[in-house]
Amino acid sequence: MTFQRLSLPSRLFAILAALLFAMGLFSAPASAADKPKFRVAWSIYVGWMPWDYGANAGIVKKWADKYGIDIEVVQINDYIESINQYTAGAFDGCVMTNMDALTIPAAGGVDSTALIVGDFSNGNDAIVLKGKDKLADIKGQRVNLVELSVSHYLLARALETIGSSERDVTVVNTSDADMVAAYASDEVTAVVTWNPLLSEILATPDSHKVFDSSRIPGEIMDLMVVNTATLKAHPALGKALTGAWYEIMRTMSGDGAKAKEARSAMASASGTDLAGFDAQLATTRMFYQPADAVAFAKSAEAAKTMEHVARFSFDHGLLGEGAADAGFIGVAFPGGKVVGDEGNVKLRFNADYMALAAEGKL
């Protein structure tokens, strides 16, 4: 083995570099293989199609590269399965509603953070009856829905408005992947579902929407949820996802050619056309501006909604066997407010990253 002697300047540089490396002030450039890698899951829904577009258009990669990480965006066809896989640790983040974030990962002991409040359903979730046109007609019927999901929650809230309850119907658990096919059968006469499935079902002759989420605005939130420990260890993940999201929001909003091109791509991926997709957006309260999402996350209404959701979840046994009451799981909000047990916080609404986006600091 041959050793090359270093000149005095070279030796001094080597010594200095070694000292800086030991102090954590200098390191060799990281290779692509050294980049932290993360996976986020999404499923088809109007408010989540932007993630698919952002991945295909290179926007997610652009922001991941900015923060020196890799982010893989993965489509899962079955919505509940995507959340189950996130809860099991197969993904670092996943799109889901506020209720499902509470009743699946949080109830399962996985401390999770609502990183981005993307929108809330303002008519995108609905109850549809076949051959009947009044909500009261649902009494005595079998109702197909994704059991213990926001569809189930919507049904319960709807029944309250007519002085009724779930005792007056029979809930039939049906995967979102099977909902349209189920509705096509003669046996199924009542469903609760969301877009784009809802639009397809409503296009069936003699189908009537008798209640939708516009009657309970703000209660069905659509979130990007990430593992709290992962976010704490890798804030770059939060910055990259949030930065990418709001670039997508800027790209898709408005009537310009680029915006229509982006929404057309989302429409195609969700099985509709631009007009159909825009119709779904019209019944979605999208937070295109991060400042609006921050204000919503900090609002008293958001905290009150989670109290409603926790009550429904407890009544249906969704908070776990050890849950003594609806406040068993703590839900934290910006500013330090906690709904539920402060000693058992498992779901956190974090507005910090959205605020950075609003301030142009990402």
Given a cut of 90, is residue 9 above it in pLDDT? no
- Report the alpha-carbon distance of residue 307 to residue 171 in Å, rounded: 23
Q: What is the pLDDT of residue 34?
A: 86
- Report the alpha-carbon distance of residue 130 to residue 288 in Å, rounded: 35
Q: What is the mean pLDDT of the chain?
A: 91
Q: Given pLDDT bands bounded at 50, 70 and 90, which one contains residue 12?
A: very low
**Domains in the chain: boundaries:** 38-120+219-358, 125-215
Residues contacting residue 183 through CB under 8 Å, at least 6 positions apart = 128, 130, 144, 191, 201, 204
Q: What is the pLDDT of residue 32?
A: 55
Smallest CA-to-CA distance from 58 within 244, 272, 278, 250 is with 244
Q: Given pLDDT bands bounded at 50, 70 and 90, which one contains residue 172?
A: very high
- Report the alpha-carbon distance of residue 265 to residue 359 in Å, rounded: 29
* Chain segment 216-246, per-residue pLDDT in tens: 999 999 999 999 999 999 999 999 999 999 9
* Chain segment 335-345, per-residue pLDDT in tens: 999 999 999 99
38-120+219-358: CATH superfamily: Periplasmic binding protein-like II (3.40.190.10)
Q: Are 344 and 329 in contact (CB under 8 A)?
A: yes
Task: Compute the Cα dihedral for 96, 310, 316, 86 and give only its sign.
Answer: positive
Q: What is the pLDDT of residue 6?
A: 33
Given a cut of 60, is residue 132 above it in pLDDT? yes
Smallest CA-to-CA distance from 72 within 94, 88, 105, 47 is with 94
- Report the alpha-carbon distance of residue 92 to residue 20 in Å, rounded: 33
In the block, tokens 């050294």 appear at 34
Given a cut of 80, is residue 264 above it in pLDDT? yes
Q: What is the pLDDT of residue 31?
A: 52
- Report the alpha-carbon distance of residue 263 to residue 265 in Å, rounded: 5
Mean of pLDDT values over 185-201:
94
For 120, the enclosing helix (H) or strand (E) is strand 112-121
Strands 37-42 and 70-75: parallel
Q: What is the pLDDT of residue 274?
A: 97
Q: What is the pLDDT of residue 33?
A: 64
In the block, tokens 């995108």 appear at 124
- Report the alpha-carbon distance of residue 248 to residue 288 in Å, rounded: 9
- Report the alpha-carbon distance of residue 267 to residue 244 in Å, rounded: 19
- Report the alpha-carbon distance of residue 92 to residue 113 in Å, rounded: 11
Q: How many CA atoms lie within 13 A of 63 on its CB side?
A: 26
- Report the alpha-carbon distance of residue 337 to residue 298 in Å, rounded: 9
**Structural class in CATH, domain 125-215:** alpha beta
Q: What is the pLDDT of residue 224?
A: 98
* Chain segment 61-111, per-residue pLDDT in tens: 999 999 999 999 999 999 889 999 999 999 999 999 999 999 999 999 999
Q: How many CA atoms lie within 13 A of 139 on its CB side?
A: 10
Coil, helix or strand at residue 238: helix
Same topology, domains 38-120+219-358 and 125-215? Answer is yes
Residue 192, beta-bridge partner list? 127
Given a cut of 70, is residue 310 above it in pLDDT? yes
Of residues 150 and 55, which shows the higher confidence score? Answer: 55
Of residues 15 and 277, which shows the higher confidence score? Answer: 277
Given a cut of 50, is residue 123 above it in pLDDT? yes
* Residue 355 dihedral angles phi and psi, to the nearest 5°: -65, -40
Coil, helix or strand at residue 26: coil
Mean of pLDDT values over 181-206:
95
Mean of pLDDT values over 164-178:
95
Given a cut of 60, is residue 39 above it in pLDDT? yes
Q: How far, in Å, are 4, 227, 253, 295 from residue 281 at the CA level?
A: 67, 28, 10, 21
Mean of pLDDT values over 296-314:
96
Given a cut of 70, is residue 333 above it in pLDDT? yes
Residues contacting residue 111 through CB under 8 Å, at least 6 positions apart = 227, 228, 229, 345, 346, 347, 348
Strands 112-121 and 221-227: antiparallel
